[in-house]
C-alpha cells in the first residue's frame, strides 16, 4: 500500500495529518511508511494534481474521493467538508480509504 501526505512548506496541518494517518495505520495493524511529499511550486502542484495542503492519498487516490479532473491545482491550504479539525479530513474518511486499499490489495 502506498501512503502519501502531500503538503506545502509551513502548512500548519501537515504534522497533524501525518500523525493521524500513522495512528489509523497502526490501529489497523499496518506498518506502511507514510511518504511525505513537499509540493514546492505551482508547476509541481499542477503535475501532482495537488488540491491543497495537506492532501492524503492511499494508492494514489485522494482520501476525500475528489476527482482530479475538475480541480484547480495550487499552493494553498485545504479544507475538508465534514471535518471537526480545520485542515484535516475526518478520521473516518482516511480509515475508509485504508480499508478500500486493503481490499483491493487482497483481490
Q: What is the pLDDT of residues 49-107, one digit of tens each?
A: 999 999 999 999 999 986 555 567 878 899 888 888 888 999 999 999 999 999 887 77
pLDDT at 86: 81
Distances (CA, A) of 1 to 17, 62, 93: 18, 14, 17
pTM of the model: 0.91
Q: What is the pLDDT of residue 83?
A: 84
pLDDT for position 45: 93
Q: Alpha-carbon distance 1 to 3, whole Å? A: 6
pLDDT tens column, 3-54: 999 999 999 999 999 999 999 999 999 999 999 999 999 999 999 999 999 9
Cβ-Cβ contacts under 8 Å for 71 (sequence gap 6 or more): 49, 51
CA 2 – CA 37 distance, rounded (Å)? 12
CA distance 73 to 91: 24
The predicted structure's pLDDT at residue 62:
94
pLDDT of residue 71: 64
pLDDT number for residue 60: 94
Amino acid at each position: 500500500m502506498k501512503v502519501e501526505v502531500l503538503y506545502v512548506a509551513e502548512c500548519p496541518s501537515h504534522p497533524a495529518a501525518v500523525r493521524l494517518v500513522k495512528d489509523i495505520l497502526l490501529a489497523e495493524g499496518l506498518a506502511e511508511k507514510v511518504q511525505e511529499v513537499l509540493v514546492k511550486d505551482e508547476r509541481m502542484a499542477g503535475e501532482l494534481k495537488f488540491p491543497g495542503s495537506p492532501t492524503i492519498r492511499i494508492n494514489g487516490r485522494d482520501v476525500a474521493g475528489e476527482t482530479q479532473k475538475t480541480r484547480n491545482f495550487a499552493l494553498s491550504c485545504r479544507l475538508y467538508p465534514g471535518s471537526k479539525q480545520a485542515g484535516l479530513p475526518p478520521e473516518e474518511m482516511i480509515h475508509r480509504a485504508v480499508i478500500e486499499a486493503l481490499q483491493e490489495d487482497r483481490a
